[in-house]
Structure 1
Amino acid sequence: MEEYGYLWQLALILMSTKFLGLLTKRYKMPQVVGALLAGLLLGPAVLGNLLSGVVIGGHHLENLALHQTDFIEHLSEIGVIVLMFCAGLETDINELKKCGKASFIIAVLGVIAPLIGGGAFTYWFLEEGWIEASPDSSLFIQAVFVGVVLTATSVSITVETLQEMGKLKTASGNAILGAAIIDDILGIIVLTIVTSLGGGKATAGDSAPLWLVLLKIALFFVFVAIFGYIVYKFFKWWRQRDGKGMHRHAIMAFVICLLMSFAAEYFFGVADITGAFFAGVIISMTQEDQFIASKFDVIGYMFLSPIFFASIGLKVDGDAVMSMGWTVAVFAVLLTVIAVVTKIIGCGLGAKVCGYKNYQCIRIGVGMISRGEVALIVANKGIEAGLMSSAVVAPVIIVVIVTTIVTPIVLKPVFMSGNKTASDVPTTSKLVENYEQREKIGKTNR
């Protein structure tokens, strides 16, 4: 019976994530939150602790709780690679060029502020011993990594809220969407540098000198440029030679994703998810990108995505959290406050530098508050690499959930305030139109 236990686990994860996902969607929250809650509630953190020590008929009921098995772990690893590949597919280089200087400055300051604020705050807690640290890397690197987690912005909630209000195509809405596109790229670059410098479990006792780490990172981006050019030419030749059999293009795209993920980790010491992301960026420049994206959206949404996000909930160590007591709760609350405040200050200051009015700066800052999938993906990578302890996972999940709930609540009154100017009148925006088109395709496939 035990050898088929993975089938029970898989069925329970898919059923619970779908049910809770629909429940959270009903309350205007992303279904990712439902998947997280499924892992938390059915895993060792909640159900495992509730049933601990309970024995009926010689059976330990705590075994009914879901646990992180090798099977779930491997599926979640594939899931996170596919998720990052899909994120890369959604990154349009032409749109990136149209974002302009303002979006770039907003994104840069929106990354720097939470990186410094979150990193400094976490270092203080780790140094004082108020929260458990990972033994596999220095306190400084662990603190910086938490700052990296806070840099990632998820604007899906913001975009949906602004669409309902008819404010997405305003100057503030365009700035938020443009900055979010650049924000993802900057976050991946920062993640690449920190994971390479951090070493962690993979390179414990064998840390490379700084110059070699930076050289490998530089060579990785050279590799991406050269390999990307080859892939683009290959797909162009393939399309001209054989216009049929588009499904084969999707298979080849997945092969390229896996190869780049492997090459990034094995040859360049860069996170595999970075390789997957840039594989998606490369494929996004081909004419087959929308067809490939539609196929990956289905498999990711139906199967791999729920497993990955549920597995993060399963990784929350209930015993570790309980043993730390009130300090974890305080850390979670303060980290959430810092996550909110630093984004508002960073992005708002960037908007002010670019000449936006004060009320527009506040709108843009609030619109960039929400964290989501990328923050969880980065946190998961930190745990695997030994750059973040399991005790920090719960606070990170709280940050994601709270910012997701808070953003639409605060965004509506903020956008209703301020003097209405010409920049507040909705206009035609290619950036917004392309985003809405991709969202429409994604919702059709789901």
Structure 2
Amino acid sequence: MSYHYLLDLALILLSTKLLGLLTQRFQMPQVVGALLAGLILGPAGLNVLTETEFISQLSELGVIVLMFSAGMGTDINELKNSGKAGFWVALLGVIVPLLMGTALAWGAAAAGLIESNGMLENVFVGTILTATSVSITVETLKEMGKLETKVGNTILAAALIDDVLGLVALTLVSSLAGGGESVGLVLLKILGFFIFAAVAGVGANRLFCWMLKRQGGWSTHRNSVLAFVLCLVMAYCAEEFFGVADITGAYAAGLAVACTPKGTYIQSKYNPLGYLLLTPVFFAAIGINVKLDGVSGGMLAFSVLLLVISVISKLAGCGLGAKLCGFTERESIQVGVGMVCRGEVALIVANRGLSMGVLSSAMMTPVVITVVGGTILTPILLKLVFRGEPQEKLVESSLADRYEKTAQLEDASQQLLDADAAMMRKNK
């Protein structure tokens, strides 16, 4: 057994922290530093780190915990109020990128920048741009104290709907290519997932509330472990049985925990875990996965154009959806920027097209550049569009203090409960 993964992990944590502090000095989120650390140390840079199964799995666990924590920190009432806006933001955020991406691929092929396999590949490029991965947006908004706001909840609601619409679009294109499942079966699976999530969420919520009433037999520390078990099971079921992204299942589990009286306390248990280990590995892994071998001038030009279109299309589509629902111009831009990042979702869609033979292997380079470029640009653009607004929460630097105070309050509350229980037994 090789223990080299320990050295890799130490190098990732050290480099992400140092570059995170450096980017923070330039008024940029620390997420950008973590991404740059992966790029510099990965194959695209010094080639010190390479993608391994350990890093890949730890990275996936990182994004699951990140979305689980985001679910626990979501205001349920605000999320309900954001349902209509989230639908229109997601709908236009799928249609506009699909049309603009298809048009760009067709125009680039006509101009000789790329070699196209036909109109179906052009449509598939547009389908890749429909994807949205809000994990980086979530972390950036948390760092700025803007996650639990009207804009933050709208982005989360839109991302959930976007995941469903993007899956339907992928299925339609796959069906045209002669592979994959039927649209009806995919829609049935999606419906089944939401029924499963609702039943599991309500059942888990009632179980936690029942255990809290029996506090003498069940401590809130055990509740935290059971909450994480719920997160992992729902993430697994979403991906394995329903074909929905695992992060959607994790977010649904977080919503279920958020409805319990101890939701905030349980969330505080996972913030240090993400901050100290999982989140840095996740963001560094994105940079480590970048490979820029054999890129021609025309392909590089197309990559830059695809990145620009990926930003403009989400900004225009999602921003227009927010504007139609009564958001101010600034809030609409904030929503649009929050939906720009594609992340691992776009890579999953691209790999699906590659495996079906719809997408050529040469097209993977522009997709990777678009994903990494959008991942780096999103936190920077979010910082710009939220500039001048008051910060509503403490940032990451005070995370340990918040955790310690929460734990102290919980311990004091536990002592009071024990004292009351002892008094009741004595009176009996």
Residue of structure 1 in register with 2:189 after alignment: 216
Alignment of 1:10-409 (within 5 A): 10-48=9-47, 65-99=48-82, 103-104=85-86, 107-108=89-90, 111-112=93-94, 114-117=96-99, 119-121=101-103, 123-124=105-106, 130=113, 140-149=123-132, 154=137, 176-194=151-169, 207-242=180-215, 244-319=218-293, 323-350=294-321, 352-354=323-325, 360-361=328-329, 363-371=330-338, 375-382=342-349, 390-391=364-365, 392-409=367-384
Contact residue 154 and residue 368 of structure 1 kept, 8 A: no
Contiguous gaps of at least 5 residues in structure 1: 49-64, 416-425, 427-431
- Taking the aligned partners of 2:51 and 2:116, their CA distance within structure 1 comes to 21
Task: Report SS of the residue matched to 2:337.
Answer: coil
Contact residue 45 and residue 314 of structure 1 kept, 8 A: yes
Contact residue 192 and residue 217 of structure 1 kept, 8 A: no
Bigger Cα displacement from structure 2, 205-214 vs 219-228: 205-214
Change (3 A) 1:364 1:292: same
Amino acid at match of 2:209: K
Alignment deviations for residues 28-74 of structure 1 (CA, whole Å, 9 cap, x no partner): 222221111111110111113xxxxxxxxxxxxxxxx1011122122
- Taking the aligned partners of 1:5 and 1:133, their CA distance within structure 2 comes to 42
1:296, distance to aligned residue in structure 2 (A): 1.4
Contact residue 118 and residue 335 of structure 1 kept, 8 A: no
Change (3 A) 1:442 1:140: farther
1:98, distance to aligned residue in structure 2 (A): 3.5
- Taking the aligned partners of 1:42 and 1:272, their CA distance within structure 2 comes to 28
1:406, distance to aligned residue in structure 2 (A): 4.0
Amino acid at match of 2:292: G
Contact residue 103 and residue 122 of structure 2 kept, 8 A: no
Amino acid at match of 1:325: S
Contact residue 151 and residue 331 of structure 2 kept, 8 A: yes
Bigger Cα displacement from structure 2, 16-25 vs 140-149: 140-149
- Taking the aligned partners of 2:19 and 2:155, their CA distance within structure 1 comes to 27
Alignment deviations for residues 193-213 of structure 1 (CA, whole Å, 9 cap, x no partner): 45666779xxx9972222112
Task: Indicate the RMSD between aligned Cα atoms, in angstroms.
Answer: 4.0
Amino acid at match of 1:365: S
TM-score normalized by the length of structure 2 = 0.76
1:268, distance to aligned residue in structure 2 (A): 1.9
Change (3 A) 1:438 1:66: closer
Change (3 A) 1:194 1:9: farther
Contiguous gaps of at least 5 residues in structure 2: 405-428
- Taking the aligned partners of 1:205 and 1:218, their CA distance within structure 2 comes to 24
Contact residue 89 and residue 293 of structure 1 kept, 8 A: yes
- Taking the aligned partners of 1:249 and 1:308, their CA distance within structure 2 comes to 26
- Taking the aligned partners of 1:185 and 1:401, their CA distance within structure 2 comes to 22
Alignment deviations for residues 349-406 of structure 1 (CA, whole Å, 9 cap, x no partner): 34554566xxx42x23332343589632424544665668641122222123234334
Identity %: 40
Residue of structure 2 in register with 1:422 after alignment: none
Contact residue 318 and residue 335 of structure 2 kept, 8 A: yes
Amino acid at match of 1:300: G
1:223, distance to aligned residue in structure 2 (A): 1.0
User: What is the count of residue pairs matched by the alignment?
Assistant: 389
TM-score normalized by the length of structure 1 = 0.73
- Taking the aligned partners of 1:215 and 1:109, their CA distance within structure 2 comes to 19
Task: Report SS of the residue matched to 1:68.
Answer: coil
Change (3 A) 1:268 1:98: closer
Change (3 A) 1:292 1:13: same
Bigger Cα displacement from structure 2, 240-249 vs 226-235: 240-249
Bigger Cα displacement from structure 2, 257-266 vs 381-390: 381-390
